[in-house]
Amino acid sequence: IIIRVGLRKELADSLSSCRVLVVGAGGIGCELLKNLVLTGFKNIEVIDLDTIDVSNLNRQFLFQKKHVGKSKAQVAKESVLRFCPSANITAYHDSIMNPDYNVEFFRNFQLVMNALDNRAARNHVNRMCLAADIPLIESGTAGYLGQVTVIKKGQTECYECQPKPTQKTFPGCTIRNTPSEPIHCIVWAKYLFNQLFGEEDADQEVSPDTADPEVAWNPADAAARATASNKDGDIKRVSTKEWARSTGYDPVKLFNKLFKDDIMYLLTMDKLWKKRKAPLPLDWTEIHQLESSQEEAFGTGLKDQQVLGVQGYAQLFHRSVETLRSQLIEKGEGAELVWDKDDPPAMDFVTAAANLRMNVFSMNMKSRFDVKSMAGNIIPAIATTNAVIAGLIVLEALKTLNSDFDQCRTIFLNKQPNPRKKLLVPCALDPPNPNCYVCASKPEVTVKLNVHKTIVQALQDKILKEKFGMVAPDVQIEDGKGTILISSEEGETEANNNKFLSDFGIRNGSRLQADDFLQDYTLLVNLIHSEELEKDVEFEVVGDAPDKAPAPSVPEEGKNIANGNKDSAQPSTSSKAAAEDDDVLIVDSDEEPSSSTMEASPESSNRKRKHHDADTDATASKRKRLDQQPADDDEDIIALD
């Protein structure tokens, strides 16, 4: 009641009749739902596929311990109705990317508010709101940092108008042969978990990489020189999982294979160690002959924040392998486990394996807490930040519904006050980017690839879905015949999947029309054939090179920063295993230029960057630069796929 006193009667009355959609019921979503009903909104629909985890309870105040395992959307609805029984709330425990939530569904609302945690879902909602011509309020938080902005078709930049920083990745040879940072060892350990207990992925191999371009050696000669035992198929095995099964997942054999035999094999690659410190193999028997006094934990405080010795991590490795082996047996033949940072045995395994590898490569080992932070790409969530951002969402919603769109702003919440003592920084909304491949009148992109090496499946999964955010694309070749290359109807073009693009007459200069009927979105794809792509690069988007994207304020995947695991490409509203991390851009100024011209720097605020360069497709950064972060930032957001 107190809140509504400040609203004009017409606006206050309209709140009770308008329908709004809230996408996400997590950290921001809980605060937002509370704010909406207390402001006077009566007709609210909320969607989220996640279930409540114990780790949510410190900030998602609509949930209690008794709710763990239940639907976030449903429990959020029930909790809100307790202090506002007159509200009409509909909850969906579902994915916003489900085809049921089509353009017509979105047209039922006057306003959509995102409280999401990943780029894939944000891209999708952005496109659905553009197709339905419904205003969207986008938001995100990362620790003490936050942002709110308004997106309106034809008037502002859409969520995808500017290139996003690409996911930070590491070359396979670095992960497998020459790790130099703890994060490399943590990535390796997560790969190892999948290779042993989860879904095998050829791109996540953990054995020494004999194809490392730095090596330039003769594997046949080196194999003879290696002192590693081949008794269990250490070098000649078909796959890590097959070999592990043949040993019965024997923890000691696994240990010696991974931390002794493979390391001794790496040592035969002489050239790798001419300018690097060579790794030091570990032997199970020798480790357990150490005096226990040498194996005391370092550091004080909580157990998770202590660093164990080599023997301690060897024992943790042994225990976790036995536990995970038992879980596999219980699940039955052909079962697979899914790595989850909140699953103790899985987290123990990655902590132990990563630290043992760190020791092998002469790095300082990390506590379980630190490993979990890096393995889960976690930036601690701050409840107050979520509350502030949720309040700003409602303020921008009121302006939008009151037709005061010219008063809407992008608002940044910063960690430190700027020179004018402000934490909240408003910026004028940017107009649409005419070259945007989503909201332009005729979206079009140019992709460089090798038509003789790129298969249809890669075009669909890696280019159209992963890069360009489509959900169910239909692709037609503009060859005068209307040849259907990819169909969203299951099984219709499955025979094409493993064929090369050139098999369909696609060559340099070919054009493809990709349609996603769920998103009401059509993209024209111009193809440039090239045989000179860099090693391990399957395609390049011309005019959208990684070095032209904004630099992130915290190393991270795309525009997504915060509380969770980035392994899954699925959003939290479409995958229970997906992580919880919210989107945020950071600036530090209190002027009101357009938000994309802001220079983000904690030391100097009112500097501006050059606007978008149409010729080079260079874009202004809304974030702090990477070089402002510590060299070994434990909250590094990295790609693990």
pLDDT, tens only, 98-128: 999 999 999 999 999 999 988 889 999 999 9
Residue 4's identity, in one-letter code, is R
Q: What is the pLDDT of residue 587?
A: 42
pLDDT at 252 over 80: yes
- Which tokens belong to 79? 């909790």
Instruction: Give span(s): CATH 1.10.10.520, the chain.
Output: 172-218+237-292+299-376
Question: Which candidate, 124, 115, 112, places its Cα nearest to that of 151?
Answer: 112
Q: What is the pLDDT of residue 218?
A: 52
What is the spatial distance between Cα 404 and Cα 389, in angstroms, rounded to a whole number? 20
Q: What is the pLDDT of residue 301?
A: 58
Identify which has the larger pLDDT, 587 or 373.
373
Residue 149's identity, in one-letter code, is T
572 pLDDT tier (thresholds 50, 70, 90):
very low
pLDDT at 290 over 60: yes
Identify which has the larger pLDDT, 333 or 450.
450
Instruction: Give span(s): CATH 3.10.290.20, the chain.
Output: 444-542
Widest Cα–Cα separation across the chain: 86
3-state secondary structure of 521: strand
Q: What is the pLDDT of residue 545?
A: 45
What is the spatial distance between Cα 475 and Cα 516, in angstroms, rounded to a whole number? 9
Q: In CATH, what is the architecture of 9-164+380-427?
A: 3-Layer(aba) Sandwich (3.40)
Identify which has the larger pLDDT, 635 or 74.
74
Residue % of the chain over a pLDDT of 90? 54
CB-CB contact of 510 with 450 (8 Å): no
What is the spatial distance between Cα 200 and Cα 193, in angstroms, rounded to a whole number? 9
CB-CB contact of 192 with 206 (8 Å): yes
Contacts of 166 (CB under 8 A, 6+ apart): 546, 549, 558
Q: Is 408 annotated as a binding residue?
A: no
State the average pLDDT for the chain: 80
Q: What is the pLDDT of residue 214?
A: 64
Q: Is 117 annotated as a binding residue?
A: yes
Backbone angles phi, psi at 154, to 5 degrees: 80, -10
What is the spatial distance between Cα 140 and Cα 562, in angstroms, rounded to a whole number? 9
Q: Is 122 annotated as a binding residue?
A: yes
What is the spatial distance between Cα 343 and Cα 340, in angstroms, rounded to a whole number? 5
Distances (CA, A) of 364 to 130, 256, 370, 431, 516: 49, 21, 12, 48, 49
CB-CB contact of 305 with 294 (8 Å): no
Q: Is 509 annotated as a binding residue?
A: no
Most confident of 106-115, 162-171, 414-423: 106-115
Q: Is 59 annotated as a binding residue?
A: yes
- Which tokens belong to 611? 């606007």
Mean pLDDT, range 13-32, rounded to an integer:
93
170 pLDDT tier (thresholds 50, 70, 90):
confident
595 pLDDT tier (thresholds 50, 70, 90):
low
Backbone angles phi, psi at 255, to 5 degrees: -60, -55
Q: What is the pLDDT of residue 72?
A: 96
pLDDT at 620 over 80: no
Q: Tell me which of 173, 185, 408, 427 is the catalytic residue.
A: 173
Based on C-alpha coordinates, what's the Rg of the chain?
26
Mean pLDDT, range 568-588, rounded to an integer:
40
Instruction: Give span(s): CATH 3.40.50.720, the chain.
Output: 9-164+380-427
Question: Which DSSP symbol is given to 508?
Answer: T
pLDDT at 366 over 90: yes
Place domain 172-218+237-292+299-376 in its CATH homologous superfamily.
Ubiquitin activating enzymes (Uba3). Chain: B, domain 2 (1.10.10.520)
pLDDT tens digit string along 511-547? 999 999 999 999 999 999 999 888 778 999 987 644 4
CATH topology assigned to domain 444-542: 3.10.290
Q: Is 239 annotated as a binding residue?
A: no
Question: Which candidate, 426, 390, 423, 391, places its Cα nearest to that of 408?
Answer: 426
Active site residue 18: no
3-state secondary structure of 478: coil
Compute the CA torsion angle 38, 42, 43, 44 (nearest 10 deg): 10
Question: Which DSSP symbol is given to 412?
Answer: E
Q: What is the pLDDT of residue 147?
A: 95
pLDDT at 348 over 50: yes
Mean pLDDT, range 327-356, rounded to an integer:
90
Q: What is the pLDDT of residue 596?
A: 53
